[in-house]
Amino acid sequence: MQPTTLPADAPVCETSDLRLRQRLTGSLMNQPFSIVVVTNVRAGACALHGYPTISAAWAGTRRVGIRVRNGFVFEADDPGSHRFVVPPQGTAWFAVGTAMADEGRPLITFTRLAIAVTPGTSVSSSAEVAVALGSTALKGMPYGITVTAFAPGTGPVYADSGNT
């Protein structure tokens, strides 16, 4: 099999170029996480760089106020912002994490997130992904979500999860 040469000058992926799915979900130390895989559905290669933008979150049918920060998730290191090329039907991943240790607001379960590749994308132009992430928040504060940068592949494998 011949190695595929990917164009170094590949265009930046647009949200519409990507199909999203939750590959894995779990929780350690009251810190739920999801690994979200994005597949390039374009006819050609495209490049990803940086962090996905989470523009909205829902618990059931109710939209929930959130605050998002970039960084490591307890169960997945943040690979940091770097540019890489995703071939057609190739994959990349990122992790999303929450916390269930804050007291004050009731426990909710995020059931879907609106994700975009570029900052400032409207919720209506974002792609939605179904998730299952429990979260609590301090009274009067929005629910917190942490997101890691995009990385090539399908994400980490956890020996005890049965997921690959």
Whether 3 maps to a domain, the answer reads: no
Whether 109 maps to a domain, the answer reads: yes
Q: What is the DSSP string of 119-150?
A: TT--GGGSEEEEEEEEE--BTTSPEEEEEPPP
Whether 163 maps to a domain, the answer reads: no
Q: What is the pLDDT of residue 4?
A: 57
Q: Specify the CATH number for the domain of residue 81.
A: 2.60.40
Whether 164 maps to a domain, the answer reads: no
The range of the structural domain enclosing residue 21 comes to: 15-152
pTM over 0.75: yes
Mapping DSSP to helix (H, G, I), strand (E, B) and coil, where does residue 108 land?
Answer: strand
pLDDT tens sequence across 22-80: 998 877 777 889 999 999 999 999 999 999 999 999 999 999 999 999 999 988 899 99
Whether 157 maps to a domain, the answer reads: no
Alpha carbon distance 109, 100 (integer Å) = 10
Number of domains in the chain: 1
Whether 43 maps to a domain, the answer reads: yes
CB atoms within 10 A of CB 163: 14
